[in-house]
Amino acid sequence: MYSEKFLKFIEMWQKEFAIERTIDEKVCLDKDGNPIPWYTYPAIEYLSQFDYSDKEVFEFGCGNSSLFWAERAKQVTSIEDNPQWFEKWQQEFQKDNLDIRWRDEGEGYFNAIFEDEKKYDVIIVDGKRRADCARTALEKLNDGGMIILDDSDRINTSQEYVEAVNNLKKGNLIQVDFYGFCPMNNYTKTTSLFLSRDFNFKSQYIIQPINGLGNLWGMGRKHRKEFYKANR
């Protein structure tokens, strides 16, 4: 038998995080059906606070994260190395500010970031050749920007990730690791943000941090009291 408190905890994960749906349907969505990245939930919640309306985003690795960023950013350029997935994304992802490009996993993949002269405010390393992509990302990062390295906990078992993190550390960036559960998985992982020393993204909100998913302080005072009484 499970306690009532534990069942409410499970219900919160089912409703607020929609994690049951993401696992069963193998799709990265929030509770309202909006696309989210395959990052850890703590990383998603932290990133969701900021205003990206004037930001340029570059992604190594395409997917629902591309739509997540396209909903928020000025422009998103996303690189895909799988021809079948590229065709799928081209058909399904209809966003004027989303430019999906196919590049094979050779040098053209990690050098794709040099195809445009501009620099980028957010660069996501979440596809192939992560060590090489981390290295080229540093060269194209805008002042005050950040680089996101997903699955960074693989540094414990993969030389590729050791090199990726070492390359990013050469940029004198601030590493912040977000551990936790993520969509589609029944185990935890890590998404790491590497922030410029002058990171200066504006929050969408008057205060920061905002209440996260399932947060008690997101309730009104009356509902908090009721919650306390029911769960003490």
What's the CATH code, domain 26-208? 3.40.50.150
Structure tokens at 194: 């590497």
Domain spans, the chain:
1-16+214-232, 26-208
DSSP 155: G
Output the average pLDDT for the chain: 92
Q: Is pLDDT of 16 > 80?
A: yes
The whole-number average pLDDT for the span 116-125 is: 97
The whole-number average pLDDT for the span 25-51 is: 96
Question: For residue range 172-226, what is the model confidence (pLDDT) as tens digits?
Answer: 999 999 999 999 999 999 999 999 999 989 999 888 888 788 776 655 555 545 5
State the greatest distance between any 2 C-alpha atoms of the chain, in Å, as a whole number.
61
The whole-number average pLDDT for the span 70-95 is: 93
d(CA 26, CA 35): 12
Q: What count of Cα atoms within 13 Å lies in the side-chain half-sphere of residue 213?
A: 22
Strand partners, 175: 194
Structure tokens at 232: 């003490």
The whole-number average pLDDT for the span 13-42 is: 96
Per-residue pLDDT, 209: 84
**What is the pTM (predicted TM-score) of this model?**
0.91
